[in-house]
């Protein structure tokens, strides 16, 4: 999809002023955080499983070439085909070739962030093939012509009143006076409307949470069952997956599955975890006749062996964004591409370039909650710091920030001068602000004081107070 | 150079792979041994305690469970269940010998039973399961001539007949049993934990998004069989 990550600041500004969005984002705070805590509280082995999950991915990434070869061999052995695609264009073309070979007119789709990454829907539409999203959240954003705003709850930014309006607009064949204000009515209507689409579809496309080298299986984790209808009913099942999704064995997938749902939705296990291996067998009464895997690199192989390699452990649970104060405030669309929140702030510059997405790693308070809840123990704040350093080295940061940092560095390298200068500045501010105890405007600090007051310093620097305190100790 | 070779080449360059670095042996060993990670204590139970955990976990995710002492009681249990939720006595049954051999005509004469894969108009399905996993109340089902996958997803109500000796504590035990059952995996293995649900509208959980609204387990036998 077309990125607007470069416009993060404007996007965020608009999001903060959008009352519907702010109301919808309230559900993120209440919906995910407590449920996760509850689920992990019931599993004493959770921390041990996090360590295991991390170790599995580290081992797999260190041997990725070998596991990919094994995975492909197993897919082939089971009658499926792996399509190796270096970038988004190759992946789109591979999907198109399969659809054309089957004369496909409509394809149903389970939720796949990699399919968003390669902007598959727009492309298929241009080629005269109708893509139908079947995950309820994805369906909602498809009819709203919006990108997802969350990797596991793509329509989390939409209120139920908005969904009602969209359904009334799009489902014109249904009686206009029908009641549709309750979530259960909305869910039933989507179920009825999409049921027909499953049955008509020629090709079903899903993503994959895991690829298993041992067996050549792809794994999807869903709650609705839409992914299963999508892949079971049509003539062909196409799996779109990026290459870091591979894990060695069924046991390894099981270990990671134990941390996935708990971290994501706070469920102990998602309703449906499905392992798919090749096309239907000769005596099977149902299932797809063809099985294809679009195996996408799109920049990931060049993250291996770099300071961003650990990002490839990500299992897309969404815990980092569920716990991120910046994500809560601005929502997912502000990030401007497929992956929002802390994981997006690290991954997006890797995949589409720091020139385009350099703002994202700056949109963090470094509070560290993302790292503390990441089931794969990805050091997200550290990696955002790496991006900030890169951005600085590339002379991309705004002139003001550069001058500021360089000025600070000049003083920081000269401790006596630093103490003198900060002492003078703090003393001056302390005297100026003594009467009110705070400033509502201050030269050079407009970015701060535009939204809140700046407390006046006490008049002495921390270092000065510390030195005095320690001197006192020495005397004692 | 093909896409495959250039991608694998890029991966190898990034990993600085050398041909004789022992990596292939490490990979072969892991695949061969498929070692287990930490298995939760929770499921390490026997007999009746294991079954009780399975039932509690399944009910915790909005499945319902009926227990019967022996297989001959299954037809009546299914008929009673359908009556209890106000559904017509009509169902699509998996063509599985364990189900076909049950005394349907004698014990549930009013049930109208068709066999085969599910069609769009089927409201109720009855299937077997390969295993039940007590740890999370999960059913393990797989595709095959006797167990069409559409039965697990198309009908609004899915009834699963599970034997007590099929209940295991952890996912890993189900994998071991599946490995022992045959060469490689069937086309589809479904881990089903409760009925279909969605939280996509304002994070409020609704049942029956696309798959079954109701998941009912008829658990046959007692703890002695599973010990």
- Per-residue pLDDT tens digits for A145-156: 999 999 999 999
> Measuring CA to CA, how many Å separate A102 from each of A96, A133, A205, A289?
10, 20, 14, 11
| Per-residue tokens: B155 | 């009908």
**Is the same domain home to B17 and B47?**
no
Residues 6 or more apart from B149 whose CB is under 8 A from it? Answer: A228, A232, A286, A287, B141, B143, B187, B188, B190
Quick one: what percent of chain B has pLDDT higher than 90? 92
Q: How far apart are CA A76 and CA A70, in angstroms?
A: 10
Q: Does some domain include residue A165? A: yes
Query: Minimal Cα–Cα distance from A7 to chain B, Å?
Result: 27
**Is the same domain home to B221 and B200?**
yes
Helix or strand holding residue B126 (H, E): strand B124-128
Query: Minimal Cα–Cα distance from B92 to chain A, Å?
Result: 14
Q: Does some domain include residue A396? A: no
Nearest residue to A66 (alpha-carbon basis) of B21, B183, B184, B179: B21
Q: How far apart are CA A214 and CA B33, in angstroms?
A: 11
Q: Which pLDDT does position B227 carry in this prediction?
A: 41
Domain boundary among A280, A296, A312: A296
A32-90 pLDDT tens trace? 999 999 999 999 999 999 999 999 999 999 999 999 999 999 999 999 999 999 999 99
| Per-residue tokens: A403 | 């001058």
Instruction: Indicate the residue of B3, B57, B138 with minimum beta-carbon distance to A86.
Output: B3
* pLDDT beyond 90 at B118: yes
Please judge whether A84 and B2 are an interchain contact, meaning their C-beta atoms are less than 8 angstroms apart.
yes
Res. A92 pLDDT band, cuts 50 70 90? very high
Quick one: what percent of chain A has pLDDT higher than 90? 79
Structural domains counted in chain B? 2
* pLDDT beyond 60 at B21: yes
B105-114 pLDDT tens trace? 999 999 999 9
**Is the same domain home to B10 and B119?**
no
Helix or strand holding residue B8 (H, E): helix B3-15
Tell how far CA A105 is from the center of its chain: 31
Please judge whether B209 and A187 are an interchain contact, meaning their C-beta atoms are less than 8 angstroms apart.
yes
Query: Minimal Cα–Cα distance from A172 to chain B, Å?
Result: 21
Closest residue in B to A49 (Cα) is B38
A250-284 pLDDT tens trace? 999 999 999 999 999 999 999 999 999 999 999 99
Res. A476 pLDDT band, cuts 50 70 90? very low
In chain B, count H helices and then E strands: 8, 12
Q: Does some domain include residue A57? A: yes
Closest residue in B to A255 (Cα) is B37
Nearest residue to B208 (alpha-carbon basis) of A105, A421, A383, A229: A229
Q: Which pLDDT does position A474 carry in this prediction?
A: 59
Q: Does some domain include residue A332? A: no
Q: Which pLDDT does position A446 carry in this prediction?
A: 78
Res. B226 pLDDT band, cuts 50 70 90? very low
Closest residue in B to A42 (Cα) is B42
Res. A472 pLDDT band, cuts 50 70 90? low
Q: Which pLDDT does position A2 carry in this prediction?
A: 83
Q: A259 CB near a chain B CB, below 8 Å?
A: no
Helix or strand holding residue B220 (H, E): strand B214-220
Torsion angle, alpha carbons of A280, B209, B198, A199, to 10: 40
A186-216 pLDDT tens trace? 999 999 999 999 999 999 999 999 999 999 9
**Is the same domain home to A221 and A94?**
yes
| Per-residue tokens: B52 | 């009780």
Closest residue in B to A272 (Cα) is B192
Query: Minimal Cα–Cα distance from B70 to chain A, Å?
Result: 28
B75-84 pLDDT tens trace? 999 999 999 9
A4-22 pLDDT tens trace? 999 999 999 999 999 999 9
- DSSP codes of every residue in A397-423: S-HHHHHHHHHHHHHHTSHHHHHHHHH
Range of the structural domain that residue A423 is part of: 413-475
Q: Which pLDDT does position A392 carry in this prediction?
A: 84
* Predicted TM-score (pTM) above 0.90: yes
Closest residue in A to B2 (Cα) is A84
> Measuring CA to CA, how many Å separate A106 from each of A109, A125, A131, A202, A205?
10, 10, 6, 6, 11
**Is the same domain home to B132 and B93?**
yes
Res. A335 pLDDT band, cuts 50 70 90? very high
Judge whether A111 and A142 are in contact, CB under 8 Å. no
More confident residue, A467 or B163: B163
Helix or strand holding residue A58 (H, E): helix A46-62
Domain boundary among A261, A296, A331: A296
Q: Does some domain include residue A352? A: no
Mutate to test the interface with A, among B5, B61, B116, B203 (most CBs of A within 10 A): B203
What is the CATH classification number for the domain harbouring B52?
A: 3.40.50.10420
Range of the structural domain that residue B23 is part of: 1-35
Q: A265 CB near a chain B CB, below 8 Å?
A: yes
Q: Does some domain include residue A190? A: yes
Nearest residue to A8 (alpha-carbon basis) of A311, A334, A320: A334
Nearest residue to A223 (alpha-carbon basis) of B101, B153, B75, B4: B153
Q: Which pLDDT does position A475 carry in this prediction?
A: 55
Query: Minimal Cα–Cα distance from B71 to chain A, Å?
Result: 26
Q: Does some domain include residue A338? A: no
Nearest residue to A304 (alpha-carbon basis) of A350, A348, A354: A350
Q: How far apart are CA A178 and CA B104, in angstroms?
A: 41
Query: Minimal Cα–Cα distance from A363 to chain B, Å?
Result: 26
Structural domains counted in chain A? 2
Instruction: Indicate the residue of B38, B60, B212 with minimum beta-carbon distance to A52.
Output: B38
Domain boundary among A296, A329, A358: A296
Q: Which pLDDT does position A399 carry in this prediction?
A: 83
Q: A293 CB near a chain B CB, below 8 Å?
A: no
Q: Which pLDDT does position B224 carry in this prediction?
A: 78
**Is the same domain home to B217 and B189?**
yes
**Is the same domain home to B24 and B95?**
no
**Which of 319-348 (A) contact B at CB < 8 A?**
none
Q: Which pLDDT does position B89 carry in this prediction?
A: 97
**Is the same domain home to A418 and A283?**
no
Nearest residue to A119 (alpha-carbon basis) of A352, A387, A349, A357: A352
**Is the same domain home to B145 and B180?**
yes
* pLDDT beyond 50 at A358: yes
CB pairs under 8 A between A and B: 267
Please judge whether B8 and A232 are an interchain contact, meaning their C-beta atoms are less than 8 angstroms apart.
no
**Is the same domain home to A44 and A182?**
yes
Least confident residue range of A371-380, A384-393, B59-68, B75-84: A384-393
* pLDDT beyond 60 at B213: yes
**Is the same domain home to B3 and B59?**
no
Judge whether B24 and B197 are in contact, CB under 8 Å. no
Mutate to test the interface with B, among A23, A25, A66 (most CBs of B within 10 A): A66
User: Quick one: average pLDDT of A136-143?
Assistant: 96
**Is the same domain home to A206 and A77?**
yes
**Is the same domain home to B172 and B63?**
yes
Q: What is the mean pLDDT of chain A?
A: 94
User: Quick one: average pLDDT of B41-51?
Assistant: 96
Q: Does some domain include residue A234? A: yes
């Amino acid at each position: 999809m077309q990125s607007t990550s470069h416009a993060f600041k404007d996007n965020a500004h608009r999001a903060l002023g959008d009352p519907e969005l702010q109301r919808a984002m309230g559900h993120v705070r209440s919906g995910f955080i407590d449920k996760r805590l509850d689920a992990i509280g019931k599993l004493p082995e959770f921390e041990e499983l996090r360590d295991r999950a991390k170790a599995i991915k580290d081992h797999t990434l260190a041997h990725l070439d070998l596991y990919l070869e094994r995975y492909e061999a197993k897919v082939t052995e089971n009658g499926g085909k792996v399509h190796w695609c270096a970038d988004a264009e190759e992946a789109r073309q591979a999907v198109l070739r399969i659809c054309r070979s089957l004369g496909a007119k409509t394809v149903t789709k389970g939720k796949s962030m990699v399919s968003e990454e390669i902007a598959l829907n727009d492309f298929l539409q241009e080629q005269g093939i109708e893509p139908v999203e079947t995950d309820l959240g994805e369906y909602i954003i498809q009819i709203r012509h919006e990108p997802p705003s969350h990797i596991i709850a793509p329509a989390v930014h939409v209120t139920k009143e908005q969904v009602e309006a969209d359904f009334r607009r799009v489902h014109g064949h249904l009686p206009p006076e029908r009641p549709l204000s309750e979530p259960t009515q909305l869910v039933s209507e989507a179920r009825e409307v999409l049921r027909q689409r499953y049955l008509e579809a020629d090709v079903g496309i899903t993503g994959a949470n895991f690829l298993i080298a041992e067996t050549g299986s792809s794994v999807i984790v869903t709650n609705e069952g839409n992914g299963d209808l999508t892949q079971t009913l049509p003539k062909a099942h196409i799996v779109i997956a990026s290459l870091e999704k591979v894990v060695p064995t069924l046991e390894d997938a099981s270990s990671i599955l134990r941390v996935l749902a708990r971290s994501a939705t706070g469920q102990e296990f998602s309703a449906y975890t499905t392992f798919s291996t090749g096309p239907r067998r000769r005596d099977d009464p149902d299932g797809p006749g063809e099985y294809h895997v679009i195996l996408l690199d799109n920049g990931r192989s060049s993250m291996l062996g770099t300071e961003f390699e650990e990002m490839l452990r990500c299992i897309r649970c969404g815990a980092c964004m569920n716990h991120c104060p910046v994500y809560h405030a601005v929502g997912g669309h502000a990030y401007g591409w497929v992956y929002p929140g802390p994981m997006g702030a690290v991954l997006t510059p890797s995949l589409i370039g720091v020139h385009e997405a350099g703002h994202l790693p700056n949109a963090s308070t470094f509070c560290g909650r993302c790292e503390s809840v990441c089931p794969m123990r990805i050091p997200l704040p550290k990696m955002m710091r790496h991006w900030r350093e890169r951005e600085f080295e590339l002379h991309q940061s705004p002139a003001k920030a550069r001058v500021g940092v360089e000025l600070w560095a000049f003083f920081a390298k000269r401790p006596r001068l630093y103490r003198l200068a900060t002492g003078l500045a703090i003393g001056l501010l302390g005297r100026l602000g003594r009467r009110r105890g705070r400033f509502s405007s201050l030269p050079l600090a407009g970015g701060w004081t535009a939204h809140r007051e700046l407390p006046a310093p006490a008049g002495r620097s921390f270092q000065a107070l510390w030195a005095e305190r320690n001197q006192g100790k020495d005397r004692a | 150079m093909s896409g495959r070779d250039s991608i694998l080449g890029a991966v190898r360059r990034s990993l600085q792979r050398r041909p004789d670095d022992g990596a292939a042996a490490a990979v072969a060993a892991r695949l061969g041994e498929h070692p287990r990670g930490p298995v939760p204590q929770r499921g390490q139970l026997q007999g009746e305690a294991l079954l009780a955990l399975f039932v509690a976990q399944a009910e915790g995710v909005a499945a319902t469970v009926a227990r019967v002492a022996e297989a001959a009681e299954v037809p009546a249990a299914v008929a009673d269940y359908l009556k209890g939720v106000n559904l017509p006595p009509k169902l699509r049954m998996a063509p599985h010998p364990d189900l076909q051999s049950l005394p349907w005509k004698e014990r549930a004469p009013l049930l109208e039973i068709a066999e085969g894969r599910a069609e769009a108009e089927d409201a109720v399905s009855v299937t077997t399961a390969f295993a039940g996993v007590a740890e999370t109340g999960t059913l393990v089902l797989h595709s095959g001539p006797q167990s069409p996958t559409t039965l697990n997803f198309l009908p609004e109500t899915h009834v699963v007949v599970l034997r007590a000796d099929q209940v295991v504590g952890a996912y890993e035990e189900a994998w071991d049993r599946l490995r022992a059952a045959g060469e490689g995996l069937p086309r589809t293995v479904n881990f089903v934990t409760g009925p279909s649900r969605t939280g996509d509208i304002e994070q409020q959980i609704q049942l029956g998004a696309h798959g079954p609204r109701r998941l009912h387990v008829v658990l046959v036998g007692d703890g002695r069989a599973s010990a």
